[in-house]
Amino acid sequence: MPDLIANNEEKNLLAGDPMKEDARWQLVKRISVSAAFVRSPRLAHLLLYLGEQAILNRKYLLTEQSLASAVFDRKTNFDPAADTIVRSQMVRLRQRLEDYFRDEGHAEHLRVSIPKGGYVPVFEAVPLAPAKEQPEPLTEPPPIPDEPQFKTAADTEAPRRTIRRLRFTCIALLGFSLALCLLLFIRRSAPLVEGRRESPAAHRFWKKLFDENQKTTIVAADSGIVMLHGGTGQNTNLSEYLSRNFSRELAVVSAERQKELLFDASRRYTSFVDLELIERLSHLPEAVSSNYNIRFARDITADDLKQGNVILSGSQDANPWIELFEPEMNFVLNIDLTHGLHGFTNRNPQPGERPFYSATQAEYGVLAFLPNLSRNGNVLIVEGTSVAGTEAISDFLFMDSNLEPFLRKITRKDGSIPKFEILLESKSLNGSASRSRIVAYRTYG
């Protein structure tokens, strides 16, 4: 890994007088040596590099490709679809920055953040809290009696009776307050219990996929096979994937290159976006850990798709099992690596829809909720034209402002949710997905 900027200031452009006293750079340096970063030199290096280029107005260097080369020693043939190190480290960096400003840096008057969807740091001044008003000093001291006052027994008994009355009154008020709080709690809790009989649509949807009476299998995509496709320009069908027979794809490359690609295909890689999706699923209230398991695409069989519920992540070229469900799907991913074609075919276009949605100027993803192969359970397919397309679906799934209105729209009169497909469109910003929108959908049954 390259030397840390903080340890080589004499070699760094920021070591010169014009930038040395820059408050933004001083902040970045303080953060890089803080407790949140001291055990993560790579994250500190990433933060220092981002801060340096932003302060010097070299934002054109803050791209995924440039960061992979300058910070993570990746070569010029770096493929962000197969190697997600930049995006995964950016997620960690954003979290560490939040930790710093929540704890050690809570008193900082300048803050730095890196908005999602880009790599350019944003510096913001924190307004100072208004000073508390001090009570005005007394202008005159209280008068001092000229002579000592001596109280009789009758004089002291009256204050005692007053204190006893005040004590009794306080106890009575406390009891009344507790009774009132209990009554309010009971009255406010009653509607909540009643409301649980009519759960929101998103809750009902997730209960279908994480049914306590059925096992749920979450299948992670195989990025190793994607690396093979990238080297050969050929896709793999499910039969070839299961038999591990890639002779057809490898026939177009040299024998030496075949060994390299077979080695890549044998590696157990999955993208960070798929890992993030699995993590989000595992944190759902409906997902009971004892009732679901996580499997790699290479380790399951067709029988696993015939029982219980299944969640398939990744595109068809990274998770060939999706091929088994394509006959029932309206939006089918079409990947032509030879001609660089990625997009979804719309088998039955409706008025205003296109027959093909090409991922040239936008990313597309399909969210499909279908029956399993035996029709005794459910399958959720999260499929994108790229990693960014899959990320857009993941964001849609876990944002109530997106998923809930759609589910309410398609919910039947009896409250049940039909099977459906959604085609989502989003823009790709440095390999990450921006906000998505529904361009078409279908419901079944």
Percentage of residues in the chain having pLDDT higher than 70 = 77
What is the reported pLDDT for 173? 56
Q: Among all chains, which residue has been given the structure tokens 């408050």?
A: 23
Q: pLDDT-based confidence at 427, cuts 50/70/90?
A: confident
What residue ranges do the domains of the chain occupy? Answer: 5-125, 201-222+270-444
pLDDT at 132 over 90: no
**pTM for this model (two decimals):** 0.58
- 332-340: Cβ within 8 A, 24+ apart: 333/366, 333/383, 333/385, 335/235, 337/229, 337/230, 337/232, 337/233, 337/234, 337/235, 338/233, 338/234
Alpha-carbon distances, residue 436 vs 347, 393, 398, 401, 420 (angstroms): 22, 8, 13, 12, 18
Matching residue, tokens 């309010």: 184
Q: Which range is least confidently modeled, 62-66, 159-163, 215-219, 284-288?
A: 159-163
CA distances from residue 327 to 11, 301, 322, 324 in whole angstroms, order as listed: 61, 19, 10, 7
Q: Which of 5-14, 119-128, 298-307, 420-429 has the highest mean pLDDT?
A: 298-307
Residue 71's SS3 state is: coil
Distance CA 336, CA 68 (A): 27
Lowest model confidence (mean pLDDT) among 12-21, 200-209, 230-239, 283-292? 12-21
pLDDT tens readout for residues 14-46: 444 456 789 999 999 999 998 878 778 888 899
- pLDDT given at position 353: 95
Q: Tokens for 89, please give them.
A: 């480290």
Q: Are 80 and 86 contacting, i.e. CB atoms less than 8 angstroms apart?
A: yes
Residue 362: pLDDT above 50? yes
Residue 75 CB coordination number (10 Å): 7
Q: Which of the four pLDDT bands, split at 50, 70 and 90, describes residue 131? A: low
User: Whole-angstrom Cα distance, residue 28 to residue 51?
Assistant: 7
DSSP state of 292: E
Q: Which residue has the higher pLDDT, 399 or 67?
A: 67
65-92 average pLDDT score: 81
**Most confident listed range (166-175, 241-250, 422-431):** 241-250
**Per-residue pLDDT reduced to its tens digit, 302-343:** 999 998 999 999 888 889 999 999 999 999 998 876 777 789
- DSSP secondary structure letter of residue 411: -
Other CB atoms within a 10 A radius of the CB of residue 265 amount to 24
For all residues of the chain together, what is the average pLDDT? Answer: 80
Most confident of 130-134, 335-339, 346-350: 346-350
Q: CA-CA-CA-CA torsion for 445, 400, 64, 45, nearest 10 degrees?
A: -140
Return the pLDDT at 191.
39
